[in-house]
Structure 1
């Protein structure tokens, strides 16, 4: 009989906003289907305001397991540290500044119980500032075969929305340090491993967008990171070398656009209808 218990995996460093962290944690503690534990990695010293938020959620019905790293080591290292101590078979990702809708976990686990799925994500509603200010819905391909095709060019899962089979994560080596793209790299390895993917059309997460999101896409070192990611896709057998160079050119050209043009292109590329597949 399959074990359906869940570990929520979160991480934050000292620049996280305490109010955003409180919203993120509250959305997990208020799920209609409660997770069995929340593993929170403190990626280096957090400071008193963030520690107070975490302290306020300890001792409640859902165990909050805190892992403190001595120094800020980056998201991949932090998530791997959390994965190492997570106890349950299903890993639920959650960022420290996003908001899960109350029925997120119930909906995803019901879909997983249908069988044959190892990794499940969902559409996300992107908001700017106030959570009620939804600016768009990012919906990725839904079925496994469409996800495989899409993964040859772009990240096929909205990372903060994902639930994954822990056994498969361990089998592919967990999170690795691929700057800016640790999630894409992980999903590519899982696909190469044979994990079966699915995305749900319903947006089950409110994702904090705005200028910061676009700034991350043009951060220093992004081109070098993209070259590494494309080499990885070749190594995992997902794309040919010529296709990797085409990807590099296309994805780098997108990041080179002026901010206003990047926003418009982003809407065209990623804001899909709910029946996208």
Structure 2
């Protein structure tokens, strides 16, 4: 049963902003927030350093209830998100990236779902991906549904799509907020929430169109990413977020995949981790 929009609680949006974002792309992203059927009460833009003039101009032009949170720069995504979440006033917080697009009813669907299911600490959805034209989907990044499947899946892979997440602020803060876990800030948070006994889940249909391309894939390959992944997995074992047997298995399986050339890694991800748009 849906909850009437008039009876729904207010929500904040948490948008991290890096200085290298494209102004036209940011303009499109902000326009998708302006067009929400259920508008936000607050948009927190947490900046990794002062935004360049062109990005600052796009923020000023957006017709949104915006709060700008500035950091010193060069901190990484975890501290930027942690500072931004502390600045959010509402209990429900919609995560959003500066290069993605929200579907018109994203906020309505996700806020309704969180009201219906107060046990949830976070909720995401499949992620519809595009490269140039949002009307031409290139794939869909699927995620598991149901508490049992999600918990089992989390031992192998990130169980939520971060760009499509809505959070319950108090639960995230109780778990320790975002941390500096380069490349794994959200996975680290989900595992800590699950360890606390919090519930996570996913919607059946996409709510966000995510912009992807060669640069997106390139961030997940090479020695640098492999070293960060090894450090993250080791920390998961040390903190009891994953069983040591699972950590050892992942340490054997994961790093070699990061050494594949971009074409090989892209094929593997398309074959194993996503379903094509034609099968959606």
Question: Given the two structures, how large is their TM-score scaled by the length of structure 2?
Answer: 0.91
User: Structure 1 residue 13 and structure 2 residue 18: aligned?
Assistant: yes
CA distance in 2: counterparts of 1:252 and 1:220, whole angstroms: 8
Query: Is contact 1:90-1:165 (8 Å) kept?
Result: yes
- Where do 5+ consecutive residues of structure 2 fail to align? 1-6
Give SS of 2:83's match. helix
Aligned to 1:81: 83
What is the Cα deviation at residue 29 of structure 1?
A: 1.6
User: Structure 1 residue 36 and structure 2 residue 69: aligned?
Assistant: no
Aligned to 1:155: 158
Q: Which stretch has the larger CA shift, 21-30 or 3-12?
A: 3-12
Aligned to 1:48: 53
Aligned to 2:4: none
User: Structure 1 residue 137 and structure 2 residue 121: aligned?
Assistant: no
What is the Cα deviation at residue 272 of structure 1?
A: 4.0
User: Structure 1 residue 245 and structure 2 residue 248: aligned?
Assistant: yes
Q: Give CA deviations for 1:97-119 in whole Å, capped at 9, x if unaligned.
A: 01110111111112112223221
Q: Using a 3 Å threshold, how does the CA distance of structure 1 residues 12 and 219 change in structure 2: closer, same or farther? A: farther
- Could you say what the CA RMSD is over the residues aligned between the two structures, in angstroms? 1.8
Show the 5 A alignment for 1:44-123: 44-57=49-62, 60=63, 62-115=64-117, 116-123=119-126
What is the Cα deviation at residue 224 of structure 1?
A: 2.2
Aligned to 1:127: 130
Aligned to 1:169: 172
Question: Given the two structures, how large is their TM-score scaled by the length of structure 1?
Answer: 0.92
Q: Which stretch has the larger CA shift, 102-111 or 256-265?
A: 256-265
Give SS of 2:132's match. coil
- Where do 5+ consecutive residues of structure 1 fail to align? none
Aligned to 1:191: 194
Give SS of 2:14's match. strand
Aligned to 1:27: 32
What is the Cα deviation at residue 238 of structure 1?
A: 4.0
CA distance in 2: counterparts of 1:137 and 1:178, whole angstroms: 25
Query: Is contact 1:9-1:38 (8 Å) kept?
Result: yes
Q: Size of the alignment, in residue pairs?
A: 270
